Structure 1
Amino acid sequence: MIKYSAIAASLLLAAPLVADAAPEAGDGSVSIFGTGASDKNFDGNNFGVAGEIGYYGSDQLLYGIRQSVSGSAGDDVSDAWNGATRLFADYHFGSGPALPYVGANIGAIYGDGVKNTGSAGLEAGVKYYVLDKTFINFGVEYAFLFDDGDDIDNSFDDGAFFYNLGVGFNF
């Protein structure tokens, strides 16, 4: 009986932590990730680090800027550095410690191992809150690549996958 009472008391004490584990309008957010990128055929791969800073305009809408720096190595790519800078907006939905999100981004990809180009894409992921303001984030993006406005029609053939796993904090 004591064992069941201890479990019930623990659950009751932990319930407020789960209920509060969500961002609120006006919160800031900062994250750091381990990243990867692959071409659409997964022949050339890059690995690196990224960071993002954002602002919650509402309880569900986060917008901000994301910067990544990566290096490439392998048989199908030359050794080089690459970077990407993207503005993003993500809509979070659900409740509880796991908050899935979908969003969009626009920016640029540049560096030694890639053609400097514009990018725009869609993204999705999930944030899992381990504490009130601390989360683990897993996300995936597909970026359509284009040199100018006329090239946007052909960008569905030219694209790249970005994926990340990291930790973040709301403040």
Structure 2
Amino acid sequence: MKKFSLALCASAIMIPAYSQAQGMSSHDFGPHTGDREFSLSGTGTSNKDFDNSSFGVSADLGWYLSDRTVAGVRQSIQYADITGEDLTDDFWNGSTRGYIDYHFGTQAARPFVGASLGAIYGDGVKDTGTAGLEAGLKYYVLSSTYILARAEYQFLFDSGSSASDNFDDGAWAYVFGIGFNY
């Protein structure tokens, strides 16, 4: 595990050096008004015995309204395999959300903030509406290719009045992935 962590850190350090070696300057990175983006992200957890595990995949398709603002649709799918004293079951959940994000800066590293609104559904949840706030970072390793880290605070609601009541009972969702502008 130590060797894997060391290799991951070394790779992350080499990305900016590789970009500079390719002769890219800050104005060569990122999207422009009218461009689209596609990203694919994943997340997962397991206990030490791998008998309680979950993983998820999220795909985003967005359109740049300006050089800094993207709006789009996000589809996420999660799977959980839970084993306990009186329980052995598999759960599939999904969510479909619209999102809008605002990006800061013009360099290779582009932090962003945003919001999403949609619905969740599946085996392990009650079918309901969801809303959330998000923040993250896109790091351009090539002129139109980036790695992505995002954290979302999501809360569930059945109606407008329950949305404000449920904000304090939200949950965090984290993803790491890769994306492309075209």
TM-score bucket (shorter structure): 0.7 to 0.9
- Aligned with residue 134 of structure 1, among 145, 168, 171: 145
Unmatched 5+ residue regions in structure 1? 1-9, 38-43
SS in 2 for 1:58: coil
- Aligned with residue 30 of structure 1, among 35, 38, 51: 38
When structure 1 is superposed on structure 2, of 77-86 and 49-58 the one drifting more is: 77-86
- Cα separation, 1, equivalents of 2:21 and 2:93: 49
2:173 is equivalent to residue 145 of structure 1: no
CA apart distance, 1:35: 3.0
CA apart distance, 1:153: 2.4
- Cα separation, 1, equivalents of 2:53 and 2:173: 10
CA apart distance, 1:79: 2.0
- Aligned with residue 160 of structure 1, among 168, 171, 175: 171
What does residue 83 of structure 1 align with? 94
- Cα separation, 1, equivalents of 2:44 and 2:72: 20
Q: Is the 8 A contact 2:102 2:113 kept in 1?
A: yes
- Cα separation, 2, equivalents of 1:28 and 1:106: 20
Deviation string, structure 1 residues 30-64 (Cα, Å, up to 9, x no partner): 11111359xxxxxx984211111000000000000
TM-score if structure 1 supplies the norm length?
0.82
Unmatched 5+ residue regions in structure 2? 1-18, 46-51
What does residue 96 of structure 1 align with? 107
In structure 2, relative to structure 1, the CA distance for the partners of 1:128 and 1:116 (3 Å cut) is same
Percent sequence identity over aligned pairs = 50
Q: Is the 8 A contact 1:36 1:163 kept in 2?
A: no
TM-score if structure 2 supplies the norm length?
0.77
SS in 2 for 1:73: strand
2:23 is equivalent to residue 14 of structure 1: yes
One-letter code aligned to 1:102 = V
Number of matched residues? 155
Root-mean-square deviation (CA, aligned residues, Å) is: 2.3
